[in-house]
Structure 1
């Protein structure tokens, strides 16, 4: 069961690590006190998020990501369980059966999480200080103008698909390395 949990956490981490989900550095907290934000910059960010249809973009992106998650968790579970030399064939079959039962439950819970409108409101609000730290009001206005162009609007439309496909590429490249690391760790700790 621990390995299934590791698979879920790893999958979720991959979702958040793909382009379009750039995170603030780990030392920066969403709730930490920060320098006051210039009202013009804050409004420019709100305008940008509105043009980007940020909440819908995030919902669509998570929706795309959740479609690939069950199969990703299944593959990871199979690799990890079958790769565990300490398990007998019967134990592996039992663990695989547990994983098959757990995957839909976890997917349903993540779906519920991703369909919470309050989460998107909170994320949008958290974007204001993030953008304000990195861009001036004028720069944000320029980005907003770009998203109002044909190619900018197209980029926003296909961003969820690009993110999903980027995630799949990232998983194909990263998961063998992560699985090797997990197996090595499990072997070295005797777990």
Structure 2
């Protein structure tokens, strides 16, 4: 276990060192940043993020429960009674964890911070002309429909992703747990 922890710390240090070597991205054009802010407003970004986070939370609780259950059941160090006790403990702690996550996702400051970051991303990746074209699209009926349907599509996509990814994650967790035996 000690070797695993040391390896993990070394891997994080390696990744952090390489991230620090990256040159800083140039500051986006202020006119583009302003246009992106208006674009996000026209996209109803704040409302979209609130809806997406709410939908994500609805999917997250069952996924967290499934992940904890899989990890406990995959732990070969535990006998059946210990697994049952661990599952009960995990189930008792899950509502507290979910409550804390709901509080975190409901914090308006989180969306503010995300909007600032997303504004910078758009501004670095699109020209002023392209931002204006996107804004024009989001004012069309199709653009409005796209924005209205995005939270539901994101939630459905997340559910499908979990169905596809969770068996793989459970298998990997079982393999990782074998390291601790």
Superposition TM-score tier, normalisation by shorter sequence: 0.7 to 0.9
Please say if 1:58 is aligned against 2:49: yes
Structure 1 residue 33: deviation in Å?
A: 5.2
- Cα deviations across residues 3-57 of structure 1 (Å, max 9, x unaligned)? xxxxxxxxxxxxxxxxxxxxxxx949xxx95423222211110111001111111
TM-score, normalised to structure 1, is: 0.79
1:96 match: 87
Q: Secondary structure at the match of 1:61?
A: helix
TM-score, normalised to structure 2, is: 0.83
Moved over 4 A (4+): none
Give structure 1 stretches of 5+ with no counterpart: 1-25
Rounded Cα–Cα distance in structure 1 between residues aligned with 2:66 and 2:110: 29
Q: Which has the larger share of helix?
A: 2
- Tell me the number of residue pairs that the alignment of Structure 1 and Structure 2 aligns: 162
Rounded Cα–Cα distance in structure 1 between residues aligned with 2:84 and 2:91: 10
After superposition, the CA RMSD in angstroms is 1.8
1:11 match: none
2:27 to 36, 40, 65: 36
Rounded Cα–Cα distance in structure 1 between residues aligned with 2:171 and 2:106: 33
Rate the CA distance shift 1:134–1:64 in 2: closer, same or farther, 3 A: same
- Cα deviations across residues 139-163 of structure 1 (Å, max 9, x unaligned)? 0111111111111111111111111
Contact 2:74 2:173 in 1 (8 A): no
Q: State the structure with more CA Rg.
A: 2
1:134 match: 125
